[in-house]
Amino acid sequence: MSDADMMALMGISGFGAKKSKVQLDRNRFDKNKRPFQAPVQPASSSSSAGPSSNIPVAEPVYDPDDPSLAGRPDADDENEDEYDEDDAPQFPITHELVLADHTKVVSALAVDPSGARVLSGSHDYDCKLWDFGGMDVRCKPFKSWEPAGSYYVNDLKYSNKGDQFLVISGTSQAKLYDRDGEEKATFIKGDMYIRDMKHTAGHVADLTSCAWHPYEENLFITSSADSTIRIWDVENKRKQKTVIVVKSKERGARTKVMSCAYSPDGSIIAGACLDGALHLWNANSNFVRPNHSIEGAHQKNSETGSIVFSRDGWTMLTRASDDTVKLWDLRKFRKPIAEKSGLATLYPGTNAVFSPDEKYVVTGSSAPGKGKQGSLLLLDRETLEKVESVEMPSSVVKVLWHTRINQVLVGLASGQITVLYSPLTSSNGAKLLLNKGPPRKATIESLSNSVMAPAIITPHALPMFRDGDDIVAAIGSATKRKREKERNDPRKSHKPELPVTGPGKGGRVGASATQHIVQNLFRDTTRDMDVSVLPDFSAVIHCKFLLSAIVASVLNPQLGLEHLCAFCSPTAVRLENRAAASKLMHKCFSASALIAAVSGMT
């Protein structure tokens, strides 16, 4: 054995040696690259010049001595850098990672502030937690649960620190979870029989959306179909802090609040209603009436999927199910400053967000028909004109562009979550799955550690002890046949008889108050030398029947002496030794005297 192998066995092979760096494959991202369709070039004027356009062009020949190539780097030099910075795409949509575990439409999507974990909710009633750093190539969530039974998940929001998140489902109770998905609190449900919504401790109808306060980490708001927006404190789950009652213009009737949001500085609360109205309240007001309102901001009975404020707090973006995206200026809050229509919307929760630099607006469009593709649209912020379009396998419902990792997450109607990224401009996130490198090769040191490590084997986990028909091993099959044979054996498979209580059943004498007394009085006094006197063991058997008759007579004192003698006489006749017969008759008369004494005492 060489010195290196000996040092490896001793566990000091890496002492003083420089740790080698993991060499990653430069083409590792190519398998996740989206198919690129080159834009159609306009026809040039030379194409219609006649037959000359059909003349084939000769392929240029590479000449290493050509002076025009003197300033260009060689191919080997180009491969030294993994990518060229000049080729950086405008949007991080060149590559994709698919997270497929939901079975129905993804109705809620959130990413923690660090960009390490993804939280998703769906119409299959499940919430799922995904960890980019802990996932392997299978891309499966590390936790999945049903927060509210058979109710849709409508909204999910991480807190500003990312240590907890809210789950808004189709029930009237919001739920708070910690970072690992453990439930921390369930907020109270209001009394549905109280007409005035200000006097109820919680919501009385299904929730629609939620939002965290940008600075107060313990405050958040929820909107509901009971025509209210409620401000909650995380520390108090028994009652909300403030109630904002929204009234409709239609004769003071109630209206569903479909979406709510805080402004970036937390000074404004916005709410969009089912009647198409858009309301704004100052956070330090008494909330009796909204400070700003626009009736008919969207069409009546159209559900507004999202309200998003810009970082400066003066621009607001709304996306509704009336197939429109609208941009509002709070300084001129009368009509939208830009509008984009014709965006097909099959799911009312379809949202729209700003890009990290707020130069673009990202939203989704539903598929025009069954089996067709949806679209992810990137619009210019000023005019809302389409800048880029990305085809998706199904209708796009939820979109999210994370600022820190610069990746776009898309929730589809098929239950699939697509993470779009670029190897050049994105960081971490979906790239972590391919930055881990190939698995390490087995070394002598690792093998020695595995040999010396204690192995814990559970005996009943071995194949020979398993029940089932899938055992193929010969030992397992033999054991199974032996077990089935024992089950068919009436003696081995006989169930032990339970102790009898009461007067008796099936010929067995039951336990009574005098049974233990009789057993102690009539003990077996037969000596070893007396065994030779009884060549026929049937006498002993008859004696046992005699004792049973005596016990029965104790239980029934009316039994006469003649019955005992009639039982004992045939027994004595069958005995070959007269002395044994006389001894047996003596026991019978002694037992009769005992019976008489017991009868006199009772």
Instruction: Return the residue matching tokens 């937690």.
Output: 129
Give dist(CA 120, CA 157) in Å, integer. 10
Higher pLDDT, 534 or 449: 449
**pLDDT exceeds cutoff 70 at 556:** no
What is the rounded CA–CA span in Å between residue 210 and residue 418? 24
Locus of tokens 């356009």: 53
Q: Which residue has the higher pLDDT, 587 or 220?
A: 220
* Rounded distance between C-alpha atoms, residue 362 and residue 585, angstroms: 111
pLDDT in tens, 115-162: 999 999 999 999 999 999 988 888 899 999 999 999 999 999 999 999
Average pLDDT, the chain: 77
Kind and range of the H or E element at 11?
Answer: none
220-269 tens-digit pLDDT? 999 999 999 999 999 999 999 999 999 888 766 789 999 999 999 999 99
Residue closest to 174 by CA, chosen among 149, 198, 200, 148: 148
Distance between CA atoms of residues 373 and 273, nearest Å? 30
Residue 300 has which token pair? 């009546």
Choice between 448 and 167, residue whose per-residue pLDDT is larger:
167
Gap between the Cα atoms of 253 and 273, Å rounded: 12
Q: Alpha-carbon distance 274 to 227, whole Å?
A: 10
> Which distant-in-sequence residues (6+ apart) come within 8 Å of 93 by Cβ?
34, 376, 388, 390, 408, 420, 422
Query: Is the pTM above the cut of 0.75?
Result: no
Distance CA 547, CA 520 (A): 12
Beta bridge partners of 261: 270
The CATH code of the domain at 108-348 is 2.130.10.10
Candidate ranges 191-195, 240-244, 593-597; pick with highest mean pLDDT: 240-244
Residue bearing the bigger pLDDT, 438 or 357: 357
Nearest one of 411, 327, 346 to 376, comparing CA atoms: 411
Position 601 pLDDT exceeds 50: no
d(CA 211, CA 85): 38
Residue in 181, 26, 94 with CA at minimum distance from that of residue 418: 94
Confidence band of 210 (pLDDT split at 50, 70, 90): very high
Tokens matching residue 207: 């929730």
Q: Is the pLDDT of residue 271 over 90?
A: yes
Using 50, 70 and 90 to split pLDDT, how confident is the model at 523? low
DSSP, collapsed to helix, strand or coil, labels residue 99 as strand
Q: What is the mean pLDDT of residues 557-574?
A: 48
Answer yes or no: are the C-beta atoms of 256 and 227 closer than 8 Å: yes
Residue 121 carries which side chain, given as an amino acid letter? G
* pLDDT of 85 over the 50 cut: yes
According to the model, what pLDDT value does residue 50 have?
Answer: 38
Q: How many helices (H) and strands (E) does the chain have?
A: 8, 30
User: Structure tokens of 228?
Assistant: 């209210």
High-pLDDT (> 90) share of the chain, % = 51
Q: How crowded is residue 335: how many other Cβ atoms within 10 Å of its Cβ?
A: 11
pLDDT tier at 483 (50, 70, 90 boundaries)?
confident
Q: Is 214 left (phi over 0), alpha (psi -120 to 50) or beta?
A: alpha
Question: What residues contact 87, with CB distance under 8 A and at least 6 apart?
Answer: 424
* Higher-scoring residue by pLDDT: 208, 47: 208
Q: Is the pLDDT of residue 465 over 70?
A: no
pLDDT tens track for 394-442: 999 999 999 999 999 999 999 999 999 999 899 999 998 877 655 566 5
pLDDT band for 58, please (50, 70, 90 cuts).
Answer: very low
Q: Which residue has better confidence, 511 or 293?
A: 293
